[in-house]
């Protein structure tokens, strides 16, 4: 017997809405993307993007196994966790700066769009057996041409071997755990009304565990400077790794992994990216913008000319 009831249907409706909202977000942010001219090769993607493809490959393996064993409840659990935890709460949350602040053809934006396009095609494929109408809606609204006129002509989704890189998993998990810990301290500050948005914060991290120290070194040595900055992953305006403790902090947390101190960010808020930077007001043509945003506007004008 298969259990069913109002509670179960409500849970499935929640999963449906989360998948639908995630799909809409992915489609909306690749509106000006064409893989034939704009895609970045997988081997040249930043660490964050390559990890997202690796994570997608892992999830697809688990979803395939769930379908083959007729564990449809397991499929919905995996689908919800992928859309909410891996995509919405982590990858897409970090990606907002790249998508909204960058100039349209900037490589940091195109690399993110590359990943989003690859994921939305696979997402449509593996929900097709049970969410067939949503899958077909996704396929018909892809903003670039594909060979198949229907998602059901594509067949079960597969991933290239280039997506798989198990060496990314351990350091990325350390950094995701660190991000969760930092978010907890920031949330405590918000609860006391000492901070609003996370970009109002400066964070100091003193790593204690060898695993976290290794992950931070790995990110520093191998990361793309325009995408893989830990400050951007934490969504804060300033970040200090190690060094002297700060005299004034809003909150602090210490455990066996790291010491995390939070203070108010220094500088002035940029009206465009909302980061607090010291160089806001130093550009006569754009007195309310930081240097990065001034450069973006100049590139944008050139790209759209």
Count of domains for the chain: 2
Q: Give pLDDT, residue 11.
A: 82
**Same domain assignment for residues 15 and 128:** yes
**Same domain assignment for residues 49 and 184:** no
Classify residue 71: in a domain, yes or no.
yes
51: part of which helix (H) or strand (E)?
helix 47-68
Burial 91-105 (b: 16+ CB within 10 A, else e): bbebbebbbebbbee
Classify residue 303: in a domain, yes or no.
no
**Same domain assignment for residues 109 and 202:** no
**Same domain assignment for residues 17 and 84:** yes
**Same domain assignment for residues 140 and 188:** no
Classify residue 110: in a domain, yes or no.
yes
CB neighbour list of residue 66: distance below 8 Å, 6 or more residues apart: 72, 74, 75, 78
What is the rounded radius of gyration, in angstroms, for the C-alpha atoms of the chain? 21
Task: Name the packing angle between helices 132-140 and 107-127 (round to 10°).
Answer: 150
**Same domain assignment for residues 145 and 15:** yes
**Same domain assignment for residues 157 and 193:** no
For 9-54, the pLDDT digits (tens) are 888 888 899 999 999 999 999 999 999 999 999 999 999 999 999 9
Whether the full predicted model's pTM is greater than 0.85, yes or no, is yes
**CA separation (Å) from 230 to 5, 56, 172, 298?**
45, 22, 11, 26
* pLDDT tens digit at each of 305 positions of the chain: 677 888 888 888 888 999 999 999 999 999 999 999 999 999 999 999 999 999 999 999 999 999 999 998 899 999 999 999 999 999 999 999 999 999 999 999 999 999 999 999 999 999 999 999 999 999 999 999 999 999 999 999 999 999 999 999 999 999 999 999 999 999 999 999 999 999 999 999 999 999 999 999 999 999 999 999 999 999 999 999 999 999 999 999 999 999 999 999 999 999 999 999 999 999 999 999 999 999 999 999 988 87
The pair of structure tokens assigned to 283 is 């550009």
**Same domain assignment for residues 84 and 125:** yes
Classify residue 203: in a domain, yes or no.
yes
CB neighbour list of residue 154: distance below 8 Å, 6 or more residues apart: 121, 125, 139, 146, 148
Question: Residue 39's Cα: distance from chain center in Å?
Answer: 18
**Same domain assignment for residues 12 and 137:** yes
**Same domain assignment for residues 76 and 109:** yes
On the CB side of 252, CA atoms within 13 Å amount to 10
Residue carrying the six token digits 């196994």? 65
Classify residue 286: in a domain, yes or no.
no
Classify residue 282: in a domain, yes or no.
no
Classify residue 131: in a domain, yes or no.
yes
Classify residue 91: in a domain, yes or no.
yes
Q: Domain range holding 253?
A: 179-266
Euclidean distance between CA atoms 64 and 81, whole angstroms:
15
Euclidean distance between CA atoms 174 and 15, whole angstroms:
28
Q: Any idea what the CATH number is for the domain that residue 239 is in? A: 3.30.2320.20
**Same domain assignment for residues 48 and 139:** yes
Euclidean distance between CA atoms 91 and 115, whole angstroms:
10
Q: Across the strands, what pairs with 262?
A: 203, 251
**Same domain assignment for residues 34 and 112:** yes
Question: Residue 255's Cα: distance from chain center in Å?
Answer: 26
Q: Any idea what the CATH number is for the domain that residue 73 is in? A: 1.10.730.20
**CA separation (Å) from 92 to 104, 109, 119, 131?**
17, 12, 12, 23
Are 194 and 102 contacting, i.e. CB atoms less than 8 angstroms apart? Answer: no
């Amino acid at each position: 017997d298969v259990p069913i009831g109002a509670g179960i249907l409500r849970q499935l409706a929640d999963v449906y809405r989360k998948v639908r909202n995630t799909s809409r977000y992915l489609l909306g942010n690749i509106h000006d993307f064409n893989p034939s001219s704009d895609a970045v090769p997988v081997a040249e993607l930043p660490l964050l993007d390559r990890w997202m493809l690796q994570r997608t490959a892992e999830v697809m393996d688990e979803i395939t196994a769930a379908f083959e064993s007729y564990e449809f409840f397991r499929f919905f659990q995996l689908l919800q966790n992928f859309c909410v935890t891996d995509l919405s709460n982590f990858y897409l949350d970090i990606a907002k700066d790249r998508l909204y602040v960058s100039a349209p053809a900037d490589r940091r934006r195109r690399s993110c769009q590359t990943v989003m396009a690859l994921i939305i095609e696979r997402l449509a494929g593996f929900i097709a057996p049970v969410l067939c109408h949503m899958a077909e809606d996704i396929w018909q609204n892809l903003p670039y041409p594909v060979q198949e006129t229907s998602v059901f002509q594509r067949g079960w989704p597969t991933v290239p071997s280039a997506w798989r890189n198990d060496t990314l998993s351990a350091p990325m998990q350390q950094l995701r755990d660190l991000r969760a810990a930092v978010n907890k301290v920031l949330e405590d500050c918000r609860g006391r009304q000492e901070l609003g948005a996370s970009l109002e914060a400066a964070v100091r991290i003193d790593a204690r565990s060898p695993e976290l120290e290794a992950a931070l070194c790995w990110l520093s040595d191998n990361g793309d400077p325009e995408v893989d900055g830990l400050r951007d992953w934490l969504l804060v305006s300033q970040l200090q790794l190690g060094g002297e403790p700060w005299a004034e902090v809003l909150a602090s947390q210490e455990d066996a992994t790291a010491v995390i101190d939070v203070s108010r960010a220094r500088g002035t808020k940029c009206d465009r990216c909302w980061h607090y930077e010291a160089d806001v007001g130093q550009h006569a043509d754009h007195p309310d913008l930081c240097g990065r945003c001034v450069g973006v506007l100049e590139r944008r004008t050139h790209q759209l000319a």
